[in-house]
Structure 1
């Protein structure tokens, strides 16, 4: 079977793909600051020197300790408390009002030393994140297994090519066939 573009075509396609990916990386760094919270002071900065950040846009993360009004604690000990104005109105990834114990990140303007007028609020779902990572890991293992089973690297063509007959677990045993324990390997 003849390749439509040959080895040079693959090389050109690879270079074009890398240039496009590099372009996307550079483009992602040009997003205006209003769309990302990474350029703004966080709870680590603000909690240490509240007066310096009054009137500034900040991103505060913590646990909800009170719900009427919404108050978050930025430290695990329960200290570093801030009242969030408009927290439920600016909630982006939830339909119900915030509850005690929710892990939230609020972005807005620090009105005074203990009040944040929230433009956006997001709930951090640790169980959902753990589930997502586990499913992604298992799916990644499945994809790598399927790839290793059905494809091989051809050093003559410098390309991955389909295997004539896919590998199976019986083809990749760690000890010789007929040996249950593998004890007669070196005998």
Structure 2
């Protein structure tokens, strides 16, 4: 049977190995290209110098500021306005046409410095993002609360152990009723 000291050293060694692996993954992930990164220039690159991207395929995201024709602003200040040609016809995840203040991402070819010929348009309600964050926060707090209520850290073994619970009263199957007779389960 391993001694408590050997068991404690094994846990410390395992924790150190996991911390080193985590740090290594962070460094490795920081040095490799982002696999989710688009190969096309986006609004952060196009807005300051759109003339450099004329004739190229780009991805522009922003808020709709006008609907006839559809015009988006890539900056919250209203700066970086682009007209989206055929945006409503190429809309993928909405039932109706675009409306002012809709959050839009459009992919297409930049025809001139302020016109994007759209191949694909997607939209997302701002309430969807807020809903995602609120539900995630509630779920995270619920899990943390369940963990804190059910577990504690034992410093002598350097481990999380279940909290002691009050014994639950059990009823036997041959309990007596108020009249003194036996009840059958």
TM-score band (shorter)? Answer: 0.5 to 0.7
Contact 1:64 1:98 in 2 (8 A): no
Higher Cα radius of gyration: 2
Distance 1:141 1:162 in 2: 19
TM-score with structure 1 setting the length = 0.62
Q: Does 1:15 align with 2:17?
A: yes
* Secondary structure in 2 matching 1:52: helix
Give the 3 Å change call, closer, same or farther, for CA 9–37 of structure 1 in structure 2.
same
Equivalents in 2 of 1:104, 1:160: separation in Å?
A: 47
What runs of 5+ residues in structure 2 fail to find an aligned partner?
A: 167-185
Query: Shift of residue 90 of structure 1?
Result: 5.4
What's the TM-score, normalizing by structure 2? 0.63
Provide, for residues 137-186 of structure 1, a one-character-per-residue CA deviation record: whole Å limited to 9, x for no partner: 122111111111110001111111111128xxxxxxxxxxxxxxxxxxxx
Count of residues paired in the alignment: 158
Equivalent pair of 2:11/2:158 in contact (CA under 8 Å): no
| 1:154 is aligned to 2:142 | no
Q: What is the match of residue 118 of structure 2?
A: 118
Q: Which moved more, 1:61-70 or 1:21-30?
A: 21-30
Call closer, same or farther: CA 1:37–1:107 in 2, change over 3 Å.
farther
Q: Are residues 1:40 and 2:41 paired?
A: yes
Relative to structure 2, which stretch is displaced further, 122-131 or 95-104? Answer: 95-104
The within-5 A match list for 1:134-145 is 134-145=134-145
* Cα deviations by residue, 1:72-101 (Å, 9 ceiling, x for unpaired): 233556564322245456545x14254112
Contact residue 88 and residue 98 of structure 2 kept, 8 A = no
Map 1:22-37 → 2, pairs under 5 A? 22=25, 26=29, 29-31=32-34, 35-37=36-38
Give the Cα–Cα distance (whole angstroms) in 2 for the partners of residues 25 and 123 of structure 1: 34
Q: Is the 8 A contact 2:55 2:111 kept in 1?
A: yes
Q: Secondary structure at the match of 1:144?
A: helix
In the TM superposition, what whole-angstrom CA distance separates every residue of 1:113-144 from its partner, at most 9, and x where no partner exists? 12223344332321111111112112211111
Bigger shift: residues 18-27 or 64-73: 18-27
